[in-house]
Homo-oligomer: A and B are copies of this chain.
Amino acid sequence: LPSLSESVLRGDRNAISRAISSVENEDANYRTLVSELYSHTGSAFIVGITGPPGTGKSSLVGLLVKKYREKGKRVAVLAVDPTSPISGGAILGDRVRMLEHSLDPDVYIRSMASRGSEGGLSRVSRNAVRILDAAGFDVIFVETVGIGQTEVDIVRIADVVVVVLMPELGDEIQAAKAGLMEIGDIFAVNKSDLPGADKVVYNLGTILSTNDAGWRQVALKVSAKRSSGTDDLVEALEKYRGSLGESKVYRARKRLVDELLEKVSEAIARDLSKRLSQDQEFDSLVEKLVRLQIDPDTAASEILSKYYLHFPSN
């Protein structure tokens, strides 16, 4: 029998699903699985799609899937939902609109729930993307609601980030939009049949900037409802992809350094938390904190000097 990773590499849908469940649940085998697949990654074009709630991201992704299928590309969609760890699995919601692709063997769609764990979600998404990449998908869309730092962080695993906006966003959404300006490479103003779309694109135009790889942010109008503007969007995506060149390695390196630091910090935090729960000195430190006899920074220093090899730094 072939191993799970061998089946994933052959593009076996059932194996892909099982592999993603494995990284989603972070079960006993997931690290081995990702290790085995890692050397087979790096070919896919990873497109992050984010934006405030209700801007029609899923419908737009549905259209992009169609466009890339017309080009003969194998396409995967990873939809990450901010749902509850209690209520469990991701809601499908808008994703029913992608049903038309559900019988196409070259399209793979998967929803994932956020389960409330902060770092966990980007880690899980990153590993799920690796599975899809190793499985040979040419384009992988990672879709998430773009409010909140965690959700925004998820799209940082992508090669390119499309921020989906629309006319007539509320006050608080406008505020969140500001945070989205930094992470977007392409801004798609969806629902451009609504009044005010031109104004939004115009306003965006005044604040677009050029990133450190020389890419100038782009703003364009789309309408998922009228299926208009998606050719322009695909063209912008491909232009971006073409512009990556050498900087793709630069960006990959940057992402890997971040991931490595994150992994190491998490492992230390996990290990430390286990050790401290069995450490009576720690108990009495916490007791002193509760009684306001010591402050949190002093307490933290005491733990650091006991457990961390290189602390205090000087």
Identical copies in the complex: 2
* Interface size grouping (class) on chain A: 35 or more
Indicate if the CB atoms of A304 and B267 lie closer than 8 Å.
yes
Indicate if the CB atoms of A171 and B94 lie closer than 8 Å.
yes
Indicate if the CB atoms of A297 and B31 lie closer than 8 Å.
yes
Encode A247-268 as 1/0 by CB contact (under 8 A) with B: 0010011001101110111011
- Decide yes or no whether A181 CB sits under 8 A from chain B: yes
- Decide yes or no whether A182 CB sits under 8 A from chain B: yes
Q: How far is the CB of A311 from chain B (nearest CB, A)?
A: 6
Encode A283-314 as 1/0 by CB contact (under 8 A) with B: 00110011011011111100110011111010
- Decide yes or no whether A53 CB sits under 8 A from chain B: yes
Of residues A151, A175, A293, A307, which shows the largest number of chain B Cβ atoms within 10 Å of its Cβ?
Answer: A175
Indicate if the CB atoms of B147 and A149 lie closer than 8 Å.
no
Indicate if the CB atoms of A175 and B93 lie closer than 8 Å.
yes
Interface residues of A (CB under 8 A from B): 31, 34-35, 38-42, 52-54, 81-87, 91, 93-94, 114, 116-118, 121, 145, 147-153, 170-176, 178-179, 181-182, 249, 252-253, 256-257, 259-261, 263-265, 267-269, 271-276, 285-286, 289-290, 292-293, 295-300, 303-304, 307-311, 313
